[in-house]
Amino acid sequence: MELDTTEQRQRSVGFLIKEAFAFQETMDTEDKDEDNDWCGASVVLDDLAAVEEMMNAEIIFRDTLAKISSPRLDHLAEKEDYASAFEDGFDNFISDILLSRLYHAADILNDWGFRTERGQNFQENFSDKLAELIAVYENFDELLTEAEDTFEIDTPDARLKVVMT
Amino acid sequence: MKLETVEQRHKFIDDMVKKAFAFEESLIHDPEHGDDWAGAMSTVENLVTIEEFIRTEQIFLDTFGAMEEIRTHDDSGKEIALNIVNDSLLEFIDTILLRRVEFAHDRLDDWDFVTEGGVKFKKSFCRKLNTLIKTYQDIYDL
Q: What is the ipTM of this complex?
A: 0.94
pTM for this predicted structure: 0.90
The whole-angstrom separation of Cα B5 and Cα B37 is 32
Q: Give me the sign of the Cα torsion angle B63, A136, A138, A97.
A: positive
Judged by a CB distance cut-off of 8 A, whether residue A1 touches chain B is: no
Quick check: B100 contacting A, CB < 8 Å? yes
Amino acid identity, position B68: E
- Mean pLDDT, chain A, rounded, equals 89
Instruction: Quote the pLDDT of residue A165.
Output: 46
User: Is residue B1 domain-resident?
Assistant: no
Interface membership of A46 toward B (CB under 8 Å): yes
Domain count, chain B: 1
**Taking the CA atoms of chain B, what radius of gyration do you get in angstroms?**
18
Q: pLDDT-derived band of residue B121, with 50, 70 and 90 as boundaries?
A: very high
Instruction: Report residue A153's pLDDT band, with 50, 70 and 90 as the boundaries.
Output: very low
Per-residue DSSP letters for A1-61?
A: ---SSHHHHHHHHHHHHHHHHHHHHTS-TTSHHHHHHHHHHHHHHHHHHHHHHHHHHHHHH
Q: What is the DSSP letter of B32?
A: G
Model confidence at A164: pLDDT above 80: no
The letter for the amino acid at A23 is F
Structural domain includes residue B74? yes
A70 to chain B nearest CA, in Å? Answer: 11
Of B32-41, B43-52, B86-95, the range with the lowest mean pLDDT is B32-41
| Confidence (pLDDT) at A148 | 58
Q: Is residue B109 part of a domain?
A: yes
CB distance A60 to B56 below 8 Å? no
Q: Which of residues 9-68 of B touch A (CB under 8 A)?
A: 45, 48-49, 52-53, 55-56, 59-60, 62-63, 66-67
Examine residue B116 and state whether it is found in any structural domain, yes or no: yes
Closest CA to B108 of B124, B97, B92: B124
CB spacing of A78 vs B91 below 8 angstroms: no
At A27, give phi and psi (nearest 5°): -95, 135
Q: Is residue B15 part of a domain?
A: yes
Res B56: pLDDT: 98
Can you give the residue range of the structural domain that contains B98? 6-139
Residue-wise pLDDT for A89-107, tens only, equals 999 999 999 999 999 999 9
